[in-house]
A and B are shown apart, each in its own frame.
Chain A
Amino acid sequence: MKYRVSGFTFQALIFLMYLTAGQVHAQPTVGEEYRVKAGFIFNFAKFVEWSEEAFEDKNSPILLCVFPPDIFNKILFTQNIGTREILIKPYQNDEDVKCCHILFLGVSDKDFVQEKLNIVKDMKNILTVGESEDFTQMGGIIGFATEKERVNLLAEKRRLTFDINLDASDRAGLKLRSQLLSTARKVEGSQ
C-alpha cells in the first residue's frame, strides 16, 4: 500500500480542511489527504439520489464501504445527510459490497480496482468513488483527480477535483445533481 502525499498536497489539504471542518473531525495524525477525500465523499452523498429500494426506511443509514479497510480510521462523520447517518464500513470481503451505498477504493492499482469494479458492475445503488488513474473510464462513477494551479510565479497550488461517469451512474440507477456535475472537472458519458 503506497501513500503519496507530497508537500504541495499537504498544504492544499490543510487549506481544504477548513471547508470540511464542520463535517469531519479528523485527527491530526491521520493523513490529511484522506480527511479531505472523506469530506468530499460526504458532500457527494448530498448531491446523489439513491432509489427507494436502496434503504429499508428513511432513517436507514448510508453505508460507506472503504478499501483498504483502515483508510478512514479515526474519521467520524458527525453530521447527517438529511435523516440519514453515514456509517463507515471497512471492506473485509467481497460480500460486504452487496449492502454498501458508497464504495470508496483508496488504491491506485488499476487491476485491483478493475476487479472490484467488475464485482459491483451489475449491482444497483452503489456509488463507486476511486482515486486511481482512469477510474471513470474503467466504469467507476466518481474519480478523484489532482490539479495543479499556479497561484503566482513561485507557488503552485494543488487542488483536489473529480471526474464523473454518467453512464456508470445510470447503470447503478443513481441520479447525480447538476451542482455536482457543474463542479466536476470532467463529465463522461452521454446526455
Chain B
Amino acid sequence: MRIFQHISIKHKLILIIMLTSSVTLLLTSAAFVIKDVVMFYHALLRDLCSLTQVIGMNSEGALLFNDPRTAAKNLESLGAMPYVFSACIYDKKGEAFAAYFRKDAPKDTSPPPIASGHYYKKIRNKKYLFFFKPILLETETIGTVFIQYDLEERNFKMREAGIIFLAVMAMAVFCVSFILSHILQGIISAPILHLAQIARTVSKEKDYSVRAKRCCEYHWNEIGILSDGFNEMLTEIQAQEKELIRHRGHLEEEVVSRTAELLRTNEELVRAKNAAENANRAKSEFLANMSHEIRTPMNAVLGFTDLLHSLATDPKQKNYIESIRSSGRSLLTLINDILDLSKIEAGKMELQYEPVDIYSLINEIRHIFSLKIAEKELEFVTDIADDIPRSLLLDEVRLRQVLFNLVGNAVKFTHKGYIRLSATKIYTEGNMSRVELILAVEDTGIGISPESGEKIFDAFKQQEGQDTRQYGGTGLGLAITKRLVEMMGGKISVRSEPGRGSVFEIALHHVPVAAVPVKSKKDGTAGESLILFEKALILVVDDIATNRNLIREFFLDTPISVIEAEDGDKAVTAAGRYKPDVILMDIRMPVMDGYEAARRIRKIEAIKDIPVIALTASGMKEEKDKTLKQGFDGFLTKPIQRSELFEELAKFITHSKKEAPERAEKIEITEPVSPETMEKLPELTDKLENELMRKWDSARKNSFFDEISVFADQVKGLGEVFGMSVLRKYGEELAGHVSSFDIENMNATLDAYPKLVGKIVSLRSKGG
C-alpha cells in the first residue's frame, strides 16, 4: 500500500481502471464458466436423456422381438459421440441385451445398479457419468438403456479450452484496458497535473497572477470545481498580496512619518525642556542677582534716607522722607519674601535637619514677641505637651521662620485678648521613633472671613478688606509658611471666625525622634575668633572695590596680607607675580570671569596648585557645584561672613586655635581709626546714639526680622560710609543671624549694640 501511495495519480488511475476491469471480467467469466458448467451438465443430461430415449425407442422392437443385433446397431450410432465411454441395453430381467464400448473401454457389462436416473462416479481417477434410462412400451418397462459418459476427457478438453480462452481474454483485457486507461486517465490526471504545475509555478515564482486553464468540458465536475476553487484561491491570495504590499508600503510610510513626527516631537520636547531649563536657570540666576543687586542699593537708599531724615528740619520734607523710608523698607521686605518664595518654588531651598528642642524654640519665640505683646497688652500663652521628645529632627531655621510668621501675624491682627502657642504630639501606629507634631497658633484677633478661607495661603492674597496701611505686610508670609510646612512633609490648616479669632494649625507628619541631644547653641559661633592665622598672602579678585575693601578689612587684625586684582586677566598676572597662598575669586567680572581665570591659573605650572576659592552672589547650590567642578577649591556665598571666610581659609592656611573670647570682646575696636573717620566721629556717634538707638529699641521690642534686618543694614551702611569696620562687622553679623533665623545669637548681638555705641563714643572722647 505504501508503494501504491507513492506512485503518481496517472499510474494509480491506470492501475485502478485495470484492476477494476480485470476483477469485473474475472468475476463475470467465473459466473459464465459456472453457468456454462451447470448448463453443460443440464444439457448433457438432457442430451443423454433424449439419446437414450431414442435408443430405447429404437430398441423397443429389438427387445420385444429378441433382436440384439438391431439393438447393437442402434448403440453403435453412439460411436459418433467421443465421450460416450460405454453403453448397454439391458432387458427387463436386467441382463445385458446389447452393448457398445469405446475403443479404449474395457468390454465388461455389469447389470445396472439402478433402473433409472444417473450418478457420478470416479473409476481409476476418472470421473464418469452413469446414466440409466428405462425403455417403456406403453406403460411397461421392457428394458434399460445405460450410458457411461466420460466426463474426465470432456472436462479436460473443456478446461484446456477454458484456460486458453481465459489467457487470451486476460491478454486482451490487459491490453485494451491498459490502452484505454492510458488514454482516458488523461481526462482526470491532466487537469490535476496542470493544477500541480500551476501550484508549483506559483510557489516557486511567487507569481499569483497565473491561473489554471479551465477546459470547458470540465466546467461542471469535481476537477472543474477544483480548478475554479484553485483559481478563486489564487485570486484571493493575489488580492491579499496586493493588499499586503499596499499595507506594507503604507505601513512603511506610516512608520517613517510617525518616526519623523516622533523625532520632531522629541526634538521639540528637548528644545522645550532646554528652553524651560534655561528659562528656569535664567530665572534663578536673575533672582540670585536680584538679591545681590537690589539689596545692596536698597541698603544705601535706606541708609542715606536715614541720614537725610536726621538732617531735614522742614516737617514737610521730614514727612516725605518718612514716606520714602517706609516704602523702602516695604520694598526690601517684599524682595526678601519673593526671594524666599521663588527659592522654594524653584526647589532651591533645601532643608537641613538637625536635632531641635521644641521647648526652647517656643521659648525663643515667646521671648522675641514678649515686648510687642506687652506693648499691645495682650496675653501670650504657650502650651507645650510634656510628652514631646526633647530632641526632634527638624529644620530649626525654617520651623522658626514658620512660627515667627504665624505668631507675628497673630500679634499683628490681635488687638485684645490672647495669643496661644501650643504643641502636642501623637504617636503614629505605636511607632516610638516617629511622632506627629501638631503646632497651633490661636488668637482672638480680627479673624478671617469664610470666603477668604484657604486663599490666604496663596501668594499676594491678603484678606479682603485688609487695611494695608494699618497692618502692612507683603501678602507672602502665609504663602511662604505654607510652602515651608509642605516641604517639611506637613500640612497647615486654618479655622477662623471673623471678629472672634483664628487658629492656625500645623501638623508635621512622621517627625523622627533624634537619637542625639540638641547641641548647645554656643558651639561653633564666632568661630573666626578661634582661628589664629600665620603669615600668609591672599589675592582678592573682584571688580567692585568695596567688596575688595571689605575682605581687606576682615584681615586687618590678622597677619594675613591682601593684594587685589579687579578682573580675571589681572588676577592671573598677579598670581604669577606674587604667588599668593590663596586666591579669592569673584565669578562675575568684566574682561575675564572667574571661571576662565581659574582655568588659566590651572594651566600655569608655577601657580597651578594655589587654592582658588570662589565668591558668588547667587548662593544657589547648582552654582556651588559648578564652581567646584570647574576647578575651584572652595566656595563662599556673598555677602561674605567673616566667620565663613576664616573657616574656609583655615583649610588652606596654617593656623592655630585659641579659646573663645567673651562676646563683648568681639566688638573691641582693634583697628586704628583713620583721621578722616575721627573727623566724622561726632556725626557718627550722634546717629548711633539717637536715630539708630530708637530703631534698635523698636527692633528689639517688635522682634520683626524685617525690622532687625533693616537695622543691621543701616549699621553696616554707616560703618562703610564712615570707614568704621567694627560697625560694618556688627551689621553684617546681625544680618547673618536674621537671615539664618538664629534668634538667640541675633538677640545677643542686638543686645550688644549699646555697648558698641559706648565704645565708639569713648573712642571719640579718647580722640577728642
Whether B93 pairs with A18 at a CB distance below 8 angstroms is: yes
A47 in contact (CB, < 8 A): yes
Q: Mark A7-45, 1 if CB is under 8 A from B, else 0.
A: 000000000101100100000000000000000100100
The stretch of B55-63, B104-112, B155-163, B286-294 in contact with A is B55-63
User: A182–B137 Cα gap in the complex (Å)?
Assistant: 16
Whether A19 pairs with B67 at a CB distance below 8 angstroms is: no
A137 in contact (CB, < 8 A): no
A74 in contact (CB, < 8 A): no
Residue from the list A16, A18, A19, A47 in contact with B61, Cβ < 8 A: A47
Which residues of the other chain, A, contact B66 by a CB distance below 8 angstroms? 16, 19, 159-160
A93 in contact (CB, < 8 A): no
Whether B61 pairs with A82 at a CB distance below 8 angstroms is: no
Whether B70 pairs with A183 at a CB distance below 8 angstroms is: yes
Residue from the list B57, B67, B93, B137 in contact with A46, Cβ < 8 A: B137
Residue of B nearest to A20 (CB): B64
Q: Using a CB-CB cutoff of 8 Å, which residues 15-71 of chain B contact chain A?
A: 57-58, 60-62, 64-67, 70
Whether A183 pairs with B64 at a CB distance below 8 angstroms is: yes
Rounded to whole Å, the gap between the CB of B336 and the closest CB of chain A is: 172
Rounded to whole Å, the gap between the CB of A36 and the closest CB of chain B is: 9
Whether A19 pairs with B64 at a CB distance below 8 angstroms is: yes
A180 in contact (CB, < 8 A): yes
B387 in contact (CB, < 8 A): no
A161 in contact (CB, < 8 A): yes
Q: Mark B76-93, 1 if CB is under 8 A from A, else 0.
A: 000000000000000101
Which residues of the other chain, A, contact B67 by a CB distance below 8 angstroms? 161, 183
Residue of A nearest to B62 (CB): A183
Rounded to whole Å, the gap between the CB of B141 and the closest CB of chain A is: 11
If A16-B66, A43-B64, A43-B65 touch, whether A182 touches B138 (CB-CB below 8 Å) is no
Which residues of the other chain, B, contact A19 by a CB distance below 8 angstroms? 64, 66, 91
Which residues of the other chain, A, contact B137 by a CB distance below 8 angstroms? 46
Which residues of the other chain, B, contact A161 by a CB distance below 8 angstroms? 65, 67
Q: Mark A139-159, 1 if CB is under 8 A from B, else 0.
A: 000000000000000000001
A179 in contact (CB, < 8 A): yes
Rounded to whole Å, the gap between the CB of A79 and the closest CB of chain B is: 8
Whether B70 pairs with A182 at a CB distance below 8 angstroms is: yes
Which residues of the other chain, A, contact B60 by a CB distance below 8 angstroms? 179
Residue of A nearest to B91 (CB): A19
Number of interface residues of A (CB under 8 A): 21
User: A40–B66 Cα gap in the complex (Å)?
Assistant: 10
Rounded to whole Å, the gap between the CB of A137 and the closest CB of chain B is: 21
Rounded to whole Å, the gap between the CB of A27 and the closest CB of chain B is: 22
Whether B138 pairs with A46 at a CB distance below 8 angstroms is: yes
Q: Using a CB-CB cutoff of 8 Å, which residues 118-158 of chain B contact chain A?
A: 137-138, 140
User: A177–B137 Cα gap in the complex (Å)?
Assistant: 13
Rounded to whole Å, the gap between the CB of B144 and the closest CB of chain A is: 15
Whether B93 pairs with A180 at a CB distance below 8 angstroms is: no
Which residues of the other chain, B, contact A18 by a CB distance below 8 angstroms? 93
Residue of B nearest to A39 (CB): B64
Whether A179 pairs with B57 at a CB distance below 8 angstroms is: yes
Which residues of the other chain, B, contact A159 by a CB distance below 8 angstroms? 66
Whether B61 pairs with A180 at a CB distance below 8 angstroms is: yes
Q: Mark B537-558, 1 if CB is under 8 A from A, else 0.
A: 0000000000000000000000
Rounded to whole Å, the gap between the CB of A158 and the closest CB of chain B is: 12
Residue of A nearest to B59 (CB): A179
Which residues of the other chain, A, contact B140 by a CB distance below 8 angstroms? 22
Which residues of the other chain, A, contact B61 by a CB distance below 8 angstroms? 47, 177, 179-183
Rounded to whole Å, the gap between the CB of B91 and the closest CB of chain A is: 8
User: A43–B65 Cα gap in the complex (Å)?
Assistant: 8
Which residues of the other chain, B, contact A46 by a CB distance below 8 angstroms? 64, 137-138
Q: Mark A46-83, 1 if CB is under 8 A from B, else 0.
A: 11000000000000000000000000000000000110
Which residues of the other chain, B, contact A177 by a CB distance below 8 angstroms? 61
Rounded to whole Å, the gap between the CB of B657 and the closest CB of chain A is: 182
Whether B65 pairs with A40 at a CB distance below 8 angstroms is: yes
User: A58–B137 Cα gap in the complex (Å)?
Assistant: 19
Which residues of the other chain, A, contact B64 by a CB distance below 8 angstroms? 19, 43, 46, 179, 183
Residue from the list A16, A43, A160, A182 in contact with B58, Cβ < 8 A: A182
Rounded to whole Å, the gap between the CB of B159 and the closest CB of chain A is: 40
Q: Using a CB-CB cutoff of 8 Å, which residues 587-626 of chain B contact chain A?
A: none
Which residues of the other chain, A, contact B91 by a CB distance below 8 angstroms? 19
User: A159–B93 Cα gap in the complex (Å)?
Assistant: 19
Whether A183 pairs with B138 at a CB distance below 8 angstroms is: no
Interface centre among B61, B62, B137 (most CB of A within 10 A): B61
Rounded to whole Å, the gap between the CB of B635 and the closest CB of chain A is: 167
User: A38–B140 Cα gap in the complex (Å)?
Assistant: 18
Interface centre among A81, A82, A161, A182 (most CB of B within 10 A): A182
User: A106–B595 Cα gap in the complex (Å)?
Assistant: 190
Interface centre among B57, B65, B137, B140 (most CB of A within 10 A): B65
Rounded to whole Å, the gap between the CB of A14 and the closest CB of chain B is: 13
Residue of B nearest to A149 (CB): B69
User: A160–B66 Cα gap in the complex (Å)?
Assistant: 9
User: A81–B67 Cα gap in the complex (Å)?
Assistant: 21
Residue of B nearest to A19 (CB): B66
User: A59–B177 Cα gap in the complex (Å)?
Assistant: 73
Residue of B nearest to A46 (CB): B137
Whether A182 pairs with B93 at a CB distance below 8 angstroms is: no
Which residues of the other chain, A, contact B58 by a CB distance below 8 angstroms? 178-179, 182
User: A183–B58 Cα gap in the complex (Å)?
Assistant: 9
Residue of B nearest to A80 (CB): B138
Whether B93 pairs with A183 at a CB distance below 8 angstroms is: no
User: A1–B549 Cα gap in the complex (Å)?
Assistant: 219
User: A8–B91 Cα gap in the complex (Å)?
Assistant: 23
User: A167–B377 Cα gap in the complex (Å)?
Assistant: 200
Rounded to whole Å, the gap between the CB of A84 and the closest CB of chain B is: 11
User: A160–B65 Cα gap in the complex (Å)?
Assistant: 8
User: A161–B67 Cα gap in the complex (Å)?
Assistant: 9
Q: Using a CB-CB cutoff of 8 Å, which residues 169-183 of chain A contact chain B?
A: 177-183
Which residues of the other chain, A, contact B70 by a CB distance below 8 angstroms? 182-183
Interface centre among B57, B64, B70, B93 (most CB of A within 10 A): B64
Rounded to whole Å, the gap between the CB of A159 and the closest CB of chain B is: 7
User: A47–B138 Cα gap in the complex (Å)?
Assistant: 11
Rounded to whole Å, the gap between the CB of A164 and the closest CB of chain B is: 11
Interface centre among A18, A40, A179 (most CB of B within 10 A): A179
Rounded to whole Å, the gap between the CB of B66 and the closest CB of chain A is: 6
Which residues of the other chain, B, contact A180 by a CB distance below 8 angstroms? 61, 65
Residue of B nearest to A183 (CB): B61
Rounded to whole Å, the gap between the CB of A39 and the closest CB of chain B is: 9
Rounded to whole Å, the gap between the CB of B487 and the closest CB of chain A is: 157
Interface centre among A47, A160, A180, A183 (most CB of B within 10 A): A183
User: A3–B37 Cα gap in the complex (Å)?
Assistant: 63
User: A171–B137 Cα gap in the complex (Å)?
Assistant: 27
Rounded to whole Å, the gap between the CB of B601 and the closest CB of chain A is: 171
Rounded to whole Å, the gap between the CB of B135 and the closest CB of chain A is: 10
Q: Mark B189-227, 1 if CB is under 8 A from A, else 0.
A: 000000000000000000000000000000000000000
Rounded to whole Å, the gap between the CB of B90 and the closest CB of chain A is: 13
User: A29–B377 Cα gap in the complex (Å)?
Assistant: 205
Q: Mark A100-115, 1 if CB is under 8 A from B, else 0.
A: 0000000000000000
User: A148–B171 Cα gap in the complex (Å)?
Assistant: 67
User: A113–B137 Cα gap in the complex (Å)?
Assistant: 32
Which residues of the other chain, B, contact A16 by a CB distance below 8 angstroms? 66
Which residues of the other chain, B, contact A81 by a CB distance below 8 angstroms? 138
Residue of A nearest to B65 (CB): A183
Q: Which 6 residue pairs of A and B lie closest in terms of their CB atoms, listed nearest first? A: A179-B61, A183-B61, A183-B65, A43-B64, A179-B60, A183-B67
10 extra A-B contacts, CB within 8 A, seeds A18-B93, A22-B140, A183-B65: A16-B66, A43-B64, A43-B65, A46-B64, A47-B61, A81-B138, A178-B58, A179-B58, A180-B65, A183-B64
User: 6 A-B contacts, Cβ less than 8 Å apart?
Assistant: A43-B65, A46-B137, A178-B58, A179-B64, A182-B62, A183-B67
Instruction: Give the interface of A toward B (CB within 8 A).
Output: 16, 18-19, 22, 40, 43, 46-47, 81-82, 159-162, 177-183
